[in-house]
């Protein structure tokens, strides 16, 4: 690592980072115990700000789609506030627009959002075993792709207040954007909106790449995941699979293969 950035100002930066990483490892357990709910909440708000910005831009499209389907801005806002799911909401809007049955609504929602089953399972091992039941009921309200991403990224055990903090800024961003989109349509210049649309993908990269940099297994895992995802969306027969199914199938297959080939060692377990 140091070999890369030995010259110039960046050397200092890397040194600083190394110090930070070392101090994190040293005080990890102590820190998790010492950090109050309030501190976790504040940390969640801070990390939730880029999510809120990205949501705001993306949810405009959601509002516009809802409006075209004959849904009022108030209804669209309610939907965004309680569902907090991008693909899931688009699918729900389609079901409503087609006036399908409630059973179809339940099945569509289940299939499109099945990945949350995996995310919540992963989080069940990330939170403290003694986490109160109330938080086990409240935390899942705020498991979106992005909030899940930052929550799995925290050092040591996850405190649910981190998610509540992130949701405090992200939910208004998502809801407000939807309502505005349904009311006035596109107010941002098209190019700005397109550019902001990749904010959330940028965040995903910021979550997975640092881990991959430190750990070769994760580096291989991330590369393989992206390659297979690319192939599955391009190859003739496989590209017929919807993107939500592709996400869940690939997640299960690749994670299971990785777990069999490279089960985590003791020290990695503690990190997770």
Partner 1 sequence: METNFYVYLLVAAGTLYLIRMLPLTLIRKGIKNKYIRSFLYYVPYVTLAVMTFPAIIYATGSVWSGLAGFVVGLVLAFFDGNLFRVAIGACLAVYLTEWLV
Task: Give the separation between CA 267 and CA 189, rounded to whole angstroms.
Answer: 49
CA distance 139 to 264: 26
Q: Please say which residue, 39 or 255, places its beta carbon nearer to partner 1.
A: 255
Using CB under 8 A as the binding rule, whether residue 61 contacts partner 1 is answered as no
- Shortest separation between residue 196's beta carbon and partner 1, angstroms: 6
- Give 192-217 as a DSSP string: HHHHHTTHHHHHHHHHHHHHHHH-HH
Please tell me whether residue 230 binds partner 1 under the rule CB under 8 A: yes
d(CA 49, CA 177): 14
Interface with partner 1 in residues 86-145 (CB under 8 A)? 88, 92, 95-96, 99, 101-102, 105-106, 109-110, 113-125, 127, 129, 133, 136-137, 139-141, 143, 145
Give residue 94's Cα distance to chain centre.
23
**Helical H segments across 35-72, by residue range:** 37-68
Q: Which stretch binds partner 1 (CB under 8 A): 25-33, 36-44, 167-175, 188-196?
A: 188-196
Judged by CB, which is closer to partner 1: 27, or 204?
204
Residue 168 found at the interface with partner 1 (CB under 8 A): no
Residues 35, 71, 169, 171: which binds partner 1 (CB under 8 A)?
71
Residue 92, phi then psi, degrees to nearest 5:
-65, -40
Q: Looking at residues 1 to 60 of the shown chain, list those that interact with partner 1 (rule: CB under 8 A).
A: 5, 10, 47, 49-50, 53-54
Near partner 1 by CB under 8 A: residue from 55, 56, 60, 148: 148
Cβ(123)–Cβ(143) below 8 Å? yes
């Amino acid at each position: 690592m140091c070999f890369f950035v030995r010259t110039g100002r960046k050397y200092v930066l890397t040194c600083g980072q190394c110090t930070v990483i070392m101090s994190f490892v040293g005080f990890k357990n102590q820190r998790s115990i010492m950090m109050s709910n309030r501190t976790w909440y504040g940390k969640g708000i801070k990390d939730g700000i880029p999510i809120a910005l990205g949501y705001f831009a993306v949810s405009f499209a959601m509002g516009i789609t809802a409006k075209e389907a004959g849904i009022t801005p108030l209804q669209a806002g309610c939907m965004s506030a309680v569902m907090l799911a991008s693909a899931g909401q688009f699918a729900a809007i389609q079901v409503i627009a087609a006036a399908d049955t409630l059973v179809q609504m339940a099945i569509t929602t289940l299939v499109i959002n099945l990945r949350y089953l995996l995310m919540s399972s992963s989080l069940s091992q990330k939170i403290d075993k003694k986490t109160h039941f109330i938080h086990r009921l409240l935390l899942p309200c705020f498991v979106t792709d992005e909030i899940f991403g930052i929550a799995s990224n925290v050092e040591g055990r996850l405190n649910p207040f981190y998610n509540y903090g992130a949701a405090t800024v992200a939910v208004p961003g998502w809801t407000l954007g939807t309502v505005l989109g349904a009311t006035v349509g596109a107010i941002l210049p098209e190019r700005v909106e397109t550019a902001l649309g990749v904010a959330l993908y940028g965040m995903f990269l910021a979550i997975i790449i640092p881990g991959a940099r430190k750990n070769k297994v994760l580096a291989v895992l991330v590369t393989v995941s992206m390659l297979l995802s690319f192939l599955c969306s391009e190859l003739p027969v496989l590209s017929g699979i919807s993107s939500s199914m592709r996400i869940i199938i690939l997640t299960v297959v690749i994670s299971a293969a990785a777990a069999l080939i490279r089960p985590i060692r003791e020290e990695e377990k503690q990190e997770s």
